[in-house]
Homo-oligomer: A and B are copies of this chain.
Amino acid sequence: MIYADYNASSVLSDEVRQYLKERLENGPFANPNAIHYLGKKVMEGITNSRQICAKNVGADPDQLFFNSGSTEGIATVFYSLLTPQKRNTKHIVIISSIEHPAVLNTAIHYQKEFGFELKILPVDNNGIVDTATLEKWLQDFGEKTALLSIMAANNETGIIQPIEDISKMANKYHVPMLCDTTQYIGKVPFDFEKSGIDYAVLSGHKIGALTGIGFILAKDPTTMSPLFTGGGQEKGHRGGTQNYIGIESIAVALNKNSEKIVNWNKILDKKLDFETQIKKEFPKIVIIGETVSRLPGTTYISYPKLHGQAIQIELESHEIFVSTSAACSDNDIATSPALKAMNINDDVGRGVIRISLNHDSPVKNYDTIFETLKAAYRKLEKLNKICP
């Protein structure tokens, strides 16, 4: 079995699994806000985890707040900055055309419900946001912009954005910048302070921690308003009894990911080799974002006019689990919004599958994927599984 869908969700990492085995067996379990020894022990675990996480992402522990994951983190930033009071002077929100639904849908919500003006920043044909247009926009209406939200790396394509250049612009024009770093942290060295970003978010399940845990990083935490108050946990920034087991798991995962970040190099080398080989076999193949910087373990690959889902199913029958964002059926053929934003046509858009591996995936997985994908393409070519 080859799991190649890490961008969707990671397998629980070996280190986290090992940690939890002992942790769940031995406790302690208590409310971290309790005044007794057990409560203090649990709170100590949270404090240690916060320090470990903060160190791993180049932030101050006081800038890091645990929550349930990136979707909540993104909603918190929008809620904090897009207040009705601010709308009077700052009524514009800028997001890129390739943002995750967690950003896009939240932005649309504030547009529809609260009358904010939503400006969608285009990307070029390589999937890189148009920084020249952004600079012009910030010059023209930066003063009226409540929030700029640009992701660090796209979940589908893995294409990496020039986030430090963008944050420099944002800072220059005093526009708060949220960066969706969900796919980025743990795969690429990241330093929050150096990045210049105002807000960043993470989901534990993307890096091998438990599900339902994540954190938000805030350059200036006083700018944040809590989505839920509760008993004032997380210094008033996020109410509710802290998910201490999840919190510990994210510290373990992040620590291990940082240690192993060099492992990505061999994954990247082998991936590029795999991409070269498969293109040699099938010259019509398109690797999305081939010429630009991408996440080391991500390949978004299309055989134009073949059904992406047919390829996915073919691989699955050989126990290789990949994803496709293109729902391809006789009646309904759709290219994903991220690909449309890159001006990719439907022939290519409907033929994509995403292969995403982890730093600790065996590199030889690419050999198996190569052989199986080759056989799948050959078979589907013959069967003429071409979208109409």
Contacts and interface: CB of A to CB of B under 8 A. Distances in A.
Interface of A: 3, 5, 8-12, 17, 20-21, 24-25, 27, 29-31, 33-39, 67-72, 74-75, 84, 100-102, 105-106, 109, 203, 205, 210-213, 227-232, 239-246, 309, 312, 316, 321-324
Number of copies: 2
A229 B109 contact: yes
A34 to B, nearest CB: 5
Contacts of A68: 67-68, 72, 212, 240, 243
A152 to B, nearest CB: 18
A203 B233 CA distance: 15
B36 A230 contact: no
A37 B323 CA distance: 11
A36 B212 contact: no
B229 A35 contact: no
A11 B72 CA distance: 27
26 contacts: A3-B29, A3-B30, A5-B38, A8-B34, A11-B29, A12-B27, A12-B29, A30-B321, A34-B321, A34-B323, A35-B309, A36-B312, A37-B321, A68-B72, A68-B243, A69-B240, A71-B229, A71-B241, A74-B230, A101-B232, A102-B240, A105-B231, A211-B241, A211-B246, A212-B245, A227-B228
A247 to B, nearest CB: 8
The 4 lowest CB-CB distance pairs between A and B, nearest first, are A212-B243, A71-B240, A71-B230, A8-B31
Contact of A246 (B106, B212, B312): B212
